[in-house]
Amino acid sequence: MEFDEIYMRKFLNKIKLRNLFSKLKFQELFPETRSRILICYLLLTTGFVAMTVPIFYRMVILQVDSRIFQDLDEEVVVFEQFLAMETQAESLIELKLLLNKYLRYKIPADKTFLIAIVDNKFYRSSPLSVPAFLGRESEFIREIKNIAEFTSGSRVLADTLIHYEAQPLIYQDKSLGVFVIVTIPDEERQEVLDAVNLVIKILLIAWLIALLVIYKIVGIILAPIETLINTTQEITEKQLNRRMVVTGKGELAKLARTFNLMMHRLEIAFKNQNQLLNDVSHELRTPITIVQGHLELLDYSSSEAEKQETINLVLNELDRMGVLVEELLLLAKVEQENFLKLETVNLRQYMKEIYQKVRVLGDRNWQLVNYNTSTLTIDRQRITQSVINLSQNAVQHTQPGDTITIIAKIRNEKLYLGVKDTGIGIPQSEQHQIFERFFQASNSRSQNKRGAGLGLSIVKAIVEKHQGSVQLYSKLGQGSTFYLILPIIPCGDYYESNFNS
């Protein structure tokens, strides 16, 4: 048993190696996919033709032979009808007279012979001249003259195929002779085979033309792959905006969409990476310079008050750098597929939770306006973070006693989640820049605080990830209202929805 298992393993390994060798050799001989498809088509059609042509030839020959035997049957029927119309032959003399009368005027088809045998002897034929293998002393005549019932069949005589039918001539249970019809089918067979060969030649020419057409069609079908290769070769780190044109449906169209989706993600990833590097290098330079400058000025002769002031300033700058890095990392993560953790929330309960969280941000007149009991699918944590960011922004731009209202309303299957304040407002000329990174309004009260100007950028990124948008309504001296507009329907992947649409 152990020997058999070892032998079987060796045998299977040999098969695997041979298959691998054959595969590699095939790929080396035909490296292009188009050539492989064409060769496979060629092999399959050749094998199919090699199997079907002999069968087709055989079926044609059988059809010819069947028609020949039908003709022989008709000849026998005609002869029997002739005998029925004449006086019944009661003797050999009368039979010979009838046969003479019939064979004298009956001219058979080419290579067909009517032979009369009377009294076990070759009597007469039509035509008078017959091949030697059908002659008076031939073996065929000696065998056929003694039959007692109708006989038909095929034989090869002197390397020549014949079809024959033999009808015994019987009177009062006594055999007077035999009427034989013989045909040589070689010419009929050859005519049919010539026609078949001509058809096969025409089909072969058509097959070669089809082969060229298929080669062209396969090239057209595989053109998107060639386009994909060329597009991929043209892509560099600084040129990630190349896309494939998607036409139709099917696997190749799906491949093109998948490639475009991949390039979109790569482009966003590189853009975020460059944005992060630029932001870090730009925004961290100032606090690092401040920290470094104060530490260089700090020496052992400084008073305790100066040392403590420097330490507090350094800690404050480090704290600000930590907040900045966290916000930058959050913006960098927004484009990741798994950034959102979606769940279904009850709007009434959710708004109560938000209200309880934001009302401790400052001594303001907090109000909640919500009359909806709908449910929607959102990332609870990220939307809460966005509302808190807007609420902190409202607190920074209002005074104690001012009113800040948290609003939730539904219009046109969209949730308008707003934060409205009665603060100083934002200048009209700066409202279009308010969501840009590191931008702070000229009248902002938080310019000297920890804020880096990323809060509203984070809010906008989170809302757009939900396939929503942010709207701002503001007037100087009257306050500002920020609306997070979110779809009520469950949202899917941000990139997929944009590409499919």
- At 193-210, the pLDDT tens digits run 888 888 888 988 888 888
Per-residue model confidence as pLDDT tens digits over 56-66 = 888 888 888 88
Which position has the higher pLDDT, 285 or 416?
416
Confidence band of 365 (pLDDT split at 50, 70, 90): very high
Q: How far apart are CA 410 and CA 132, in angstroms?
A: 109
pLDDT value of position 301 = 57
Whether omega for the bond prior to residue 224 falls within 30 degrees of 0, making it cis, is no
Distances (CA, A) of 189 to 68, 369, 462: 10, 99, 84
Rounded to 10 degrees, the C-alpha dihedral 268/273/278/282 comes to: 120
Residue type, 20: L
**Distance in angstroms (rounded) separating the CA atoms of residues 345 and 350:** 7
pLDDT at 326 over 80: no
Count Cβ atoms within 10 A of the Cβ of residue 314 and give its class: 0-12 exposed, 13-18 middle, 19 or more buried: middle
Residue 372's pLDDT is what?
76
Indicate the range of 77-91, 99-113, 162-176 predicted with least confidence.
Answer: 77-91
The lowest-confidence range among 51-55, 423-427, 452-456 is 452-456
Confidence of residue 120 (pLDDT cuts 50, 70, 90): confident
Which of 55-59, 93-97, 284-288, 350-354 holds the top average pLDDT? 350-354
pLDDT average, residue stretch 73-98: 79
Sequential DSSP letters for 236-274: BTTB----PPP-SSSHHHHHHHHHHHHHHHHHHHHHHHH
Q: Given this model, what pLDDT does residue 480 score?
A: 92
Looking at per-residue pLDDT, the higher value among 296 and 9 belongs to 296
* pLDDT bucket at 237, cuts 50 / 70 / 90: low
DSSP classification of residue 337: G
Q: Which residue has the tokens 């984070």?
A: 458
Distance of CA 440 to the CA centre of its chain: 50
User: How is residue 228 annotated by DSSP?
Assistant: H
pLDDT at 376: 85
Phi, psi dihedral angles at 104 (to 5 degrees): -70, -40
Q: How far apart are CA 215 and CA 211, in angstroms?
A: 6
pLDDT confidence tier of residue 292, bands split at 50, 70 and 90: confident
**pLDDT tens by residue, 444-472:** 655 444 456 677 888 888 898 888 999 99
Percent over 70 (pLDDT), the chain: 81
Q: Does pLDDT of 425 surpass 50?
A: yes
What pLDDT, on the 0 to 100 scale, is given for residue 299?
66
- Asked if the model's pLDDT at residue 276 lies above 70, the reply is no
Residue 269 CB neighbours (<10 A): 14
Nearest one of 348, 331, 364, 270 to 459, comparing CA atoms: 331
Q: Which amino acid is at 256?
A: A
Read off the pLDDT of each residue in 380-397 and give the average, rounded to a whole number: 90
In terms of pLDDT, which residue wins out, 261 or 420? 420
Mean pLDDT of the chain: 79
Which position has the higher pLDDT, 397 or 24?
A: 397
Is 273 in contact with 329 (CB distance < 8 Å)?
Answer: no
